[in-house]
Chain A
Amino acid sequence: MLQRIYDWVDERMDITPLWRDIADHEVPEHVNPAHHFSAFIYCFGGLTFFVTVIQILSGMFLTMYYVPDIINAYESVYYLQSEVAFGAIVRAMHHWGASVVIVMMFLHTLRVFFTGAYKKPRELNWVVGVLIFFVMLGLGLTGYLLPWDMKAYFATVVALEIMETVPIIGESLRTLLQGGEIVGAQTLARFFAIHVFFLPGALLGLLAAHFIMIRRQGISGPL
């Protein structure tokens, strides 16, 4: 049955080359922890992606309860945390996931650096990777404000104050993010939009580029 569905779609779309491309790539011995335990360092990239998927899924569930305005934001998080079934766990996953993703990404960066995997012909993939790092930091910064509690509010005030001290673009940058004279309703709305739409959009694009390049070039050889 499945085979017939596959054939039906394949006849119309010619998906076999696509499928072979995704499934049929070799995993060389030197990156396979089953053969060399030290190859576990090659897992960090995959784990980063894994946690990113957790972040996207748990984040989607959080938005089912979260209300991005200054009157209800805190209340909705409080409600989610204390009343909703598994709400505290989903929020904890998103909270800790944000930290774990940064740690994994840091380790992945170190692995790529110290194995010299960013050298020709993989320069562009390194650049995309560093951009992903920046996007992740941006996600962390904007997500921190959303619960609208004391630590969120004052951390954001400090972050915006630091940004403002950057010459030339500083003030415009602050206005852009803050959306008004004070850190308030506008800021929360903007951080929400950035956290939930702009940066994830950028992230998905960059991840696609990252993976397509890996598929294209294959993983770097043994040292």
Chain B
Amino acid sequence: MHRGKGMKFVGDSRVPAEKKPNIPKDYSEFPGKTEAFWPNFLLKEWLVGAVFLIGFLCMATAYPASLEGVADPTDSAYIPLPDWYFLFLYQLLKYQFASGDFELIGNVVIPGIAFGALLIAPWLDNGPERRPSRRPIATAMMMLGTIATIYLTWESVEEHDWEAAEEQGEIITDDDIIEVDQDARGYEIYEEQGCIECHGDQMEGAGAAGPDLYDLPYGAEDIAEIAVEGIGDMPAGLFDGDDEELEVLSEYIEANGQPDDGDDGEEDDDEDDNGDDEEDE
């Protein structure tokens, strides 16, 4: 490069007035079949990129990103799960040697060593050998780390209750909620007996705690039985009122929270009608 006195610049700038010719290097002088990045290689690379992009777009179109119901901090029964690339850490913390009293091992020591070693790998494995087979310790360590990560992710996926996860967090839109009659005696009992805690204040369900109670395939008697004896994940013995209350409650639920008369369930109840009610639906 030209330096010192006699240099010419463009105007009063520091850009040299002397132009360099814009010619590519001569790649025939390079070893092997070396080729130029621009434009030769970039064209081929773009071909690979285009194929990749098409595959990626097909995937994005075929599998939309999932969206669950809006965040509800009060739903304590929700089983959380981080995105898949954090599962290995999440799984690690579940093991006994890495949780509880040994929490430090799971959240600081093991990840610290693993990621720390990754960060300073060039100084841990500082010999000149590059072939994996000639540096067995480094190779073994990396293999171990990779296998452990894959294994932990796998285990976490295995252990997760995907069926339960499928049901929880579903989107509840306003259309799905039926306004129940909150002045009815049935609702009072529904509230008192604690059904409301798992089935929501509009019987719309409460996430993972309990499903909605709309349009049940049961008659009032079956519902009464479920209330006392439980069903599936719903524990038995939740109802502890008297028989008459149980009847009002089950009829209220059967009627989707819209009893005909509103305020007073008592006058209207005739047990024999149960069969007919079912047919109404």
Contact = CB atoms under 8 A, between A and B. Distances in A.
Interface of A: 10-14, 16-17, 19-20, 22-30, 32-35, 43, 46-47, 50-51, 54, 70, 74-75, 77-78, 81, 88-89, 91-100, 102, 110, 113-120, 122-123, 126-127, 130-131, 134, 137, 140-141, 144, 147-155, 157-159, 162, 165-167, 182-184, 220, 223
B71 A35 contact: no
A10 B19 contact: yes
B67 A81 contact: yes
B72 A150 contact: yes
Interface in B102-145: 103-104, 107-108, 115, 118-123, 125-132, 135, 138-139, 142
A166 B59 contact: no
Interface of B: 10, 13, 15-16, 19-22, 24-25, 27, 30-41, 44-45, 48-49, 52-53, 56-57, 59-61, 63-73, 75, 78-86, 89-90, 93, 103-104, 107-108, 115, 118-123, 125-132, 135, 138-139, 142, 146, 168-169, 171, 207
Contact of A182 (B73, B86, B115): B73
Given A11-B15, A25-B36, A120-B126, 20 more contacts: A11-B19, A16-B19, A19-B22, A30-B32, A47-B49, A89-B60, A92-B59, A99-B84, A102-B85, A116-B131, A116-B132, A118-B121, A118-B122, A119-B125, A119-B130, A151-B68, A153-B71, A154-B80, A155-B82, A158-B80
A119 B126 contact: yes
Contacts of A34: 44
B166 to A, nearest CB: 12
A154 B76 CA distance: 9
Given A12-B15, A78-B67, A102-B85, A27 B32 contact: no
A16 B20 contact: yes
Contacts of B142: 110, 113-114
Given A26-B25, A28-B30, A113-B121, A14 B15 contact: yes
Contacts of A30: 32
A22 B38 contact: yes
B11 to A, nearest CB: 8
Contacts of B63: 92, 96
Contacts of B30: 26, 28
Nearest to B45: A46
A5 to B, nearest CB: 14
Contacts of B126: 119-120
A206 to B, nearest CB: 13
A19 to B, nearest CB: 7
Given A119-B128, A149-B169, A150-B78, A23 B37 contact: yes
Contacts of B82: 144, 155, 158-159
A84 to B, nearest CB: 13
Contact of A148 (B21, B70, B90, B121): B70
Contacts of A126: 121-122
A183 B22 CA distance: 58
A110 B70 contact: no
Contacts of B48: 33, 43
Contacts of B107: 162, 165-166
Nearest to B118: A130
**Max chain B C-beta neighbours (<10 A), residue from A11, A17, A116, A184:** A116
Given A127-B119, A149-B70, A114 B132 contact: yes
Given A74-B71, A149-B67, A140 B169 contact: no
